[in-house]
Structure 1
């Protein structure tokens, strides 16, 4: 994606805006995690809505607030957490300013300023530009890994981002307002399967982990891990004080440190960890995990392991 003179300028990145793509798989053996978009479904929907290749880099915006100025005519799509979308301070279509959950597409002329409001629910919104965000790749990916410090840094006011040349889409282009559905966060339920160290915990652990009242998402949660506040999950007497050799981790791994409060790893998780893994969130629920925010109540439901 080189040779294009099209660009957009970041006027305000909001709380945090990152460049993300599909991540960099295949480097765990040297201590580099995959990273990439936290809500893969929303990232893909935004890219498909503007006809991008599926590996195109887009912007991942935390809690809205992004202000982006077009330095050339560009087409953008917004998907993910619900936010009000305005252009030059006005609504981009008749009626109230758009509330995006599914992909919303817009054409920006030179000088137009795209503004994302604060999400009414959900956490992360994705902004794709036709042609993709063209920043230098690191280890084959344009993803910003917050834990590893690899890839582009969080965006700052004044940053100018080149936009790649638009090519014919490989797949079907989604019309404005197409799926995926808006994140269903009113009652977030994550399905989990028993992990490799479930036997380290008291037999009543499913009743604690999957209690109807759920857990509250802690303020310290981020792309590395969602930390849950609630009743502690206790080890068996035999496992108390026992140490575990470092093991490989995956997104959705539910690790339980000595304080008994579960930690659910996200896309920027460490490659290895040394605390027992009680359970693992099903991969189909990881997009929902990416959209829960501090203060949300999360419930976990124990699912039977799938036959592979």
Structure 2
């Protein structure tokens, strides 16, 4: 089961008055160069004005993030995206199908001032998307420009999928913060590059390979374009405890992330008792964090099928375990 770009979800209507005040405060904080804890359907982000190098530098400092790793620019709509990046027919087709939603498109930069050089890691391309969470889109619309918003965790740590986890990680660095509830997807966005030649899949996510191929045909692999995507470090999304993947059973002292039917235990965190990949994706980072809190000798993870969302789940698990996916 993957993300359907036509399912925009609840919450598209009028925001309540208290939400409107929070949105206005967040937009003002961004204009002032501050950082904002921002909910999306994928994970919670730590947002800053993409055009402000000092604000972007504050994100790197708050996260301890390597500066060669580019950030994703979030915008309110396709029209804004097309003013910032050069979109060909394939990019437009992908955006119309999957936006708002968990797809990031890497395209040539059109307006370098809209997303500063530091946010793009010095590249001539920009990674851009329209998020699916109505609260984040409301902030983006009120702000009026692009907001870079990497996951609101310290670099290398599991991404936060709840407001409390985001606040625990980097909340003390934020001038404003919005609680949008648990993230519906729970994995970072799929990233594709739409440059010369074939469309390349740089990072798997909730928009699956099959869904992408239905729009643009065959996908090439990352190769040299991998540097244009965030989330490509070998050790990424890692808890403090070492991670052991494809473990059919846990060993003594380990916590266990099960998948499918498994006996209940205080040291077992079942990603999906029914073997549902969408449920497993939504639970992955929260359960890695929960398992880490019991201070196990390691976190063992059950085998996850590679098809559909399993490709993205296994990518994150391989990186948590210290392997390049």
TM-score interval, smaller chain: under 0.3
Higher helix share: 2
Larger of the two Rg values belongs to structure = 1
TM-score (norm 1): 0.28
TM-score (norm 2): 0.27
Higher strand share: 1
